[in-house]
A and B are shown apart, each in its own frame.
Chain A
Amino acid sequence: MIRVVLPAHLRNLARVDGELKVNVAGPTTQASVLDALEAGYPMLRGTIRDQVTHKRRAFIRFYACEEDLSNEAPDAPLPEAVATGAEPFLVIGAIAGG
C-alpha cells in the first residue's frame, strides 16, 4: 500500500479526508503511483499531470522522505520507505502568489 497525501483542494475534489492509500502493481514510481491514484479517483485526472503528455503541472511538486522528487524521472523508483508504506508520497500545491 502506498500512502499519498493530496493538497486540500484535491482532497475536496476527490471527497477524501486525510491520506489516501493506493495499490501499485510493479515498481513503485511517480508514474505508477499516479496511475493508481487516477484509476481510483478519476476526477483527479489532469489536476496533477497533463492527461495527454503526463507532464507534471507547473505548480505541483512531489515530495517524499524530506526530498523534492519533482524533477525525477516519472519511471525512477521512489524511495523504499514510500514503497513499503513507511513514508507518504506528498503531492504539493506550490506556494505561489504575492
Chain B
Amino acid sequence: MSGVRVLVGTHKGAFVITSDAKRKQWDISGPHFTGWDVYHVKASPVDPNRIYAAQNTGWFGQIIQRSEDGGKTWNPVGNKFAYEGATGDHLWYDGTPRPWEFKRVWHLEPSLTDPDVVYAGVEDAALFRSTDGGQNWEELPALRQHETAPKWAPGAGGMCLHTILLDKKHPDRIFIAISSAGVFKSEDAGKTWRPANQGLHSEGIPDPNAEVGHCVHRIAMHPSRPDTLFMQKHWDVMRTDNAGESWTEVSGNLPSDFGFPIEVHPHEPNTIYVIPIKSDSEHVPPDGKLRVYRSRTGGNEWEALTNGLPQSNCFVNVLRDASAIDTLESPGIYFGTTGGQVYASADAGDSWAPIVRDLPAVYSVEVQTLR
C-alpha cells in the first residue's frame, strides 16, 4: 500500500509524520533529539528506510544521526567535519578577512544511486561527502578553494551551503548554492567548480551583476529536464534552460518576489511553486495572507493558492528547506512555518490543511513517497 513519510526538522527536534496515500490522517512521531536544532532530515532515495538527520546546538556542536528503520530508531554516526588543508579566508560582515570555521550542517543530500553515499552542505560554506553511510566525512575542497572564495561573505543566516542538486542523467554534475556567494556547478563530481550566476541581478551588492556574491535562497530541478533550473533568490524568481549558463527572471505577477523555497511539480516539469514573503527586512507573508503561488508556465504567470491557508493575521515565515513535494499521481505538497505549522495539499496545491499546528519553528520538510 502506498503512502508518504514527511520528515520535519525543527528548532527543538525532528518529527516523522506518516500517512497513507489519501493524506488525510496523519501519525506523528517525535520529537526525536528533543531540544536540539535539527536543520535537515532526508532519506536515501535508494533505501527508503535509511534516513539521515543533522542535529546541532551551540553547546555541543554537530551530530549526524542515521536511521535504518524509517525513522523509528536512530544512531549517531560520524560528526568530524574537518576542512582539508589550509582553510583560507572569506570576507566577514565588516569587510575584513576571516578564516573558514565549521559551524553546522545545513543540508544533507543522499546519493541517487548508493545509500552509503551522502553529501553535506555546511556553514562556513563547504561541501562534504561520506561514502560509508555517514561514518566518515571528507571535504570536496575544490569548491572552498575556488579563486572567488576570498570574496564570499555570509548572508544574515551565516555563510551556508544550503542546496545540493544531484542529477541522475549526468552523474558527475552537481549544482550547489551558497548564501551569499551564489550557485556553483561541477561537471566532474566536485573536482572543479565554476560560478553559475550569469543573469542574476542583486541590488544589495556593489556590482549588481557580479560573478559571485548573490544571495541565492534555493534552486530546484525536475529530474526529467535537468538543464532547466528554477531559483528563488533573495529577491527575484529566476529560471535557466541551459544548466545554469544564464538565468532570466520569471517573477511575473507575484505579489512579492522575495521568498525562500521553490518546488517543481513531479509530473509537470513546467509547473512550479513559491511562497512569497513580503521583504527581506520584514520576513512575513504579504498582507498577513499565507499564499502558495503556482505557475503552470514555468514562471511569469502565477496564481495564488489559498484554499485552507490562513488569509488574515498570518505572520509566519517559510524557510528555504521547509517545503517538499511527493510523487503520487495527485502530488502532495508540504511546507512548514516558523510558527510550527506543517501544511499539506494532496491535490497539487488546490486545497490545503494543516498536518500539525504547534511544532517548534520548522527548519526543514522533506517527503518520501512509499510504494
Find residues 40-94 in chain B having any chain A CB closer than 8 Å to their own CB.
57-63, 76, 79-80, 82
A57 within 8 A of B: yes
Would A46 and B59 be within 8 Å (CB), given that A9-B35, A9-B36 are in contact?
Answer: no
How far is it, in angstroms, between the C-alpha of A43 and the C-alpha of B134 when the chains are bound? 13
Verify B76–A13 contact, CB threshold 8 A. Answer: yes
The residue from A47, A48, A57, A59 contacting B63, defined by CB atoms under 8 A apart: A47
A60: which B residues are within 8 A, CB to CB?
59-60
Verify B82–A51 contact, CB threshold 8 A. Answer: yes
B76: which A residues are within 8 A, CB to CB?
13, 43
Would A59 and B79 be within 8 Å (CB), given that A9-B35, A9-B36 are in contact?
Answer: no
Main secondary structure of the interface of A (DSSP, over half): loop
The residue from A51, A52, A59 contacting B59, defined by CB atoms under 8 A apart: A59
User: How many residues in A have their beta carbons less than 8 Å from beta carbons of B?
Assistant: 18
Verify B80–A9 contact, CB threshold 8 A. Answer: no
The residue from B36, B58, B79 contacting A46, defined by CB atoms under 8 A apart: B79
Verify B59–A93 contact, CB threshold 8 A. Answer: yes
The residue from A9, A45, A93, A96 contacting B79, defined by CB atoms under 8 A apart: A45
A1 within 8 A of B: no
Verify A45–B80 contact, CB threshold 8 A. Answer: yes
- Nearest B-chain residue to A49, judged by Cβ: B61
User: How many residues in B have their beta carbons less than 8 Å from beta carbons of A?
Assistant: 13
How far is it, in angstroms, between the C-alpha of A96 and the C-alpha of B36 when the chains are bound? 15
Would A46 and B57 be within 8 Å (CB), given that A9-B35, A9-B36, A13-B63 are in contact?
Answer: no
B58: which A residues are within 8 A, CB to CB?
58-59, 96
The residue from B35, B36, B60, B80 contacting A51, defined by CB atoms under 8 A apart: B80
A20 within 8 A of B: no
Name the distance in Å between B31's Cβ and chain A's nearest Cβ. 12
How far is it, in angstroms, between the C-alpha of A57 and the C-alpha of B61 when the chains are bound? 8
A13: which B residues are within 8 A, CB to CB?
60, 63, 76
- Nearest A-chain residue to B83, judged by Cβ: A52
A96: which B residues are within 8 A, CB to CB?
58-59
B63: which A residues are within 8 A, CB to CB?
13, 43, 47
A39 within 8 A of B: no
How far is it, in angstroms, between the C-alpha of A71 and the C-alpha of B35 when the chains are bound? 27
How far is it, in angstroms, between the C-alpha of A33 and the C-alpha of B36 when the chains are bound? 26
Would A93 and B80 be within 8 Å (CB), given that A9-B35, A9-B36 are in contact?
Answer: no
B82: which A residues are within 8 A, CB to CB?
51-52
A69 within 8 A of B: no
B35: which A residues are within 8 A, CB to CB?
9
How far is it, in angstroms, between the C-alpha of A68 and the C-alpha of B265 when the chains are bound? 57
Verify A47–B61 contact, CB threshold 8 A. Answer: yes
Verify B62–A9 contact, CB threshold 8 A. Answer: no
- Nearest B-chain residue to A94, judged by Cβ: B59
- Nearest B-chain residue to A59, judged by Cβ: B59
A7: which B residues are within 8 A, CB to CB?
59
A10 within 8 A of B: yes
How far is it, in angstroms, between the C-alpha of A13 and the C-alpha of B76 when the chains are bound? 8
A45: which B residues are within 8 A, CB to CB?
79-80
B79: which A residues are within 8 A, CB to CB?
45-46, 51
A52: which B residues are within 8 A, CB to CB?
80, 82
Most chain A C-beta atoms within 10 Å of own C-beta, residue among B35, B60, B79 = B60
Name the distance in Å between B128's Cβ and chain A's nearest Cβ. 14
Name the distance in Å between A20's Cβ and chain B's nearest Cβ. 16
How far is it, in angstroms, between the C-alpha of A46 and the C-alpha of B102 when the chains are bound? 12
By Cβ-Cβ distance, the 7 closest A-B pairs, closest first, are A47-B60, A43-B76, A59-B59, A93-B59, A51-B80, A46-B79, A46-B61
18 A–B contacts from the bound complex (CB under 8 Å) = A9-B36, A9-B57, A9-B59, A13-B76, A45-B79, A45-B80, A46-B61, A46-B80, A47-B60, A47-B63, A48-B60, A51-B79, A51-B80, A57-B59, A57-B60, A60-B59, A60-B60, A94-B59
Chain A residues in the interface with B (C-beta under 8 A)? 7, 9-10, 13, 43, 45-48, 51-52, 57-60, 93-94, 96
6 other contacts beyond A7-B59, A93-B60, with CB at 8 A cut-off?
A9-B36, A47-B60, A57-B60, A57-B61, A96-B58, A96-B59
